[in-house]
Amino acid sequence: MAGLENDIATDAGTRRPWRSRYGRALLAGTIAALLAATAVIFFMWGSLGQPNATPSVRPSPSKSADRLTVAQIYNKLAPSVVSIKATGSGTATGTGVVVNADGAILTAYHVVEGAKTISVTFADGTVAEAEVAGAEPAMDIAVLLPAQLPQVLVPAVLGASRGVGVGDDVVAIGNQLGLTLSTTSGVVSGLDRSIKGDGESPDLKGLIQFDAAVNPGSSGGPLVNARGETIAIVVALANPTDAGTFIGVGFAVPIGQALGAGSSRPPQI
C-alpha cells in the first residue's frame, strides 16, 4: 500500500485523499468482484457436480389406496368362511360366512332347507353342529348359529351394498364342487336383477349380478369388494341348460338385505 500512496502524492508532499480513497475503493471493488466470480463458480460447480437432496414424498389419500389384491382378499376373508353340510332327505353342501362375534353365519336358505342336521366346518378345522336361527326364504337367506366356536373367531368385515356399481371388481370365495375355499374374481355385471324360481323356490329380486365363477357348493359364500368387505351372499347362477354349472352369470343377495333375515322366525325343520 505504500507504493500506491507514493503514486498519489504531489511534488509538495501533499496527499490527495480523494485519490487515495478512490484507489482503495477500486482495489476493494476488484477483490469483491473476484470473490463474487469465485462464489458463482463454486455455486455452479455445487449445482452441477453434486446431486440435490432428495425431497420427501408424502402420498396423497385416494380411494385406490385401500384396494387389495385377490390374494390379499383371500387371506383376509378365508378365516371367516365355513363349509356347510346339511342332511335331510338327502345331503346338501354349501358355504357360509361368519358375520359377528357371536359366530352367526349367513348362508343360502336352499342349502339348509328341510335339513334335520347341519354341521359347519370352520377354516381352522373346527367342526360344530348348527341350527337355523333365522331365515327369509323369499331372499334365499338363512342365519345359522353353531353350537361350538373355534378358538379364534374371525368375523368378516361387512361393506355397504348401496355403493356397488357395474364394473366394480369382486371376489367370490366358496366350496364349489367340493373344492374347499376356492377363490375366483370378476366384476359386477348388473344390478337389481330378478330371477324366477324353479317352481319350488321363490322368485328372487334386487340381486347383484357378477361374473366371478361360482358352482354348486358356492351357495351362501361371500361376494367381496376390492377392499375386502363382504357386500353380498351368493345364492344362484344362470345356466340355460340342465348342467347346473357356471357359464358366466352369478347372482348374490346384497348384504343389507341378507342381514335382515336374522330377525325372521326360524322355519320348522
What the chain holds in terms of domains, given with CATH numbers, is 67-263 (2.40.10.120)
pLDDT, position 14: 41
> Distances in Å between the alpha carbon of 229 and those of 66, 68, 115, 211, 258?
11, 10, 30, 18, 14
CA angle, 48 as apex, 42 and 54 as ends, to 5°?
115
Contact of 225 with 212, CB cutoff 8 Å:
no
The dihedral formed by the CA atoms of 61, 63, 64 and 68, expressed in degrees to the nearest 10: 110
**pLDDT under 70: residue ranges of the chain:** 1-65, 199, 262-269
Are 203 and 194 contacting, i.e. CB atoms less than 8 angstroms apart?
yes
Catalytic residues: 110, 140, 219
pLDDT digits (tens, 9 = 90+) for 237-269: 998 788 888 899 999 999 999 998 755 433 322
Contact 111, 220 (CB under 8 A): yes
* Alpha helix (H) residue ranges in 158-210: none
Measured between its terminal Cα atoms, the distance across the chain in Å is 118
Predicted model pTM: 0.73
Give the model's pLDDT for residue 254. 97
